[in-house]
Amino acid sequence: MVMAMNDKRAPQDPFGESIGYLLRRAQATARLAFDATLAEWKINAPQFAILLAIHRDPGQSSADLTRRSTVTAQAVNLDVKYLEKRQLLRRRPHPLHGRILQTELTSEGRQVLKACLKRVRAVEAHMLEGLAPEAEGIVRTWLIDVARKLALDGTSSSEVRPPRSRRRAA
């Protein structure tokens, strides 16, 4: 990542706002904005993310969706059941592994996703107002890099993943 020579890093005040706090605050605020814009369709941001994930890769199971999300398996299962009840998605047994239920969007699900995507993109455009395209690219690259560096699910390289403690409690 390229930094300008006169960029100021975090304030020297050790009690100032940490980058982790600022990321969490931005994420929480974005989640509220997404939930508000999706309320018209009676879905929230994680449910929208499930619809989008299924659209991009049909046939995923709830376990697949959980691995790709930032919520618990229980939350994903509740959201999938809710979306299925609303007839936005359907689940069918896997052809080889009948206990695995694969998901796919219904016609209604595709329509709702399309409408929601327009609203979500409008929120994202608002988030990016005043940011130069080059800066947006830097922010996107940095956010992806942060997620990879901090991944604890085996997706990051061992050089950047925090070591796991092998000590047992006494």
Tokens standing for residue 77: 């299962």
pLDDT at 9: 58
- By C-alpha distance, which of 105, 127, 121, 126 is closest to 38? 121
Encoded amino acid at 49, one letter: A
User: From CA 97, how far away is CA 102, in angstroms rounded?
Assistant: 10
pLDDT at 134: 94
User: From CA 115, how far away is CA 168, in angstroms rounded?
Assistant: 51
What are the domain boundaries of the chain? Answer: 31-150
User: From CA 38, how far away is CA 40, in angstroms rounded?
Assistant: 5
pLDDT at 16: 74
75 burial (CB, 10 Å; 0-12 / 13-18 / 19+) is middle
pLDDT digit string (tens) for the chain, length 170 residues: 444 444 555 556 666 789 999 999 999 999 999 999 999 999 999 999 999 999 999 999 999 999 888 889 999 999 999 999 999 999 999 888 878 899 999 999 999 999 999 999 999 999 999 999 999 999 999 999 998 998 865 554 433 333 333 343 44
Under 8 Å between Cβ of 93 and 105: no
pTM: 0.77
pLDDT at 3: 47
Class level of CATH domain 31-150? mainly alpha
Q: With DSSP H G I counted as helix, E B as strand and the rest as coil, what are the percentages for the chain, rounded to 5?
A: 55, 5, 40
**What residues contact 122, with CB distance under 8 A and at least 6 apart?**
37
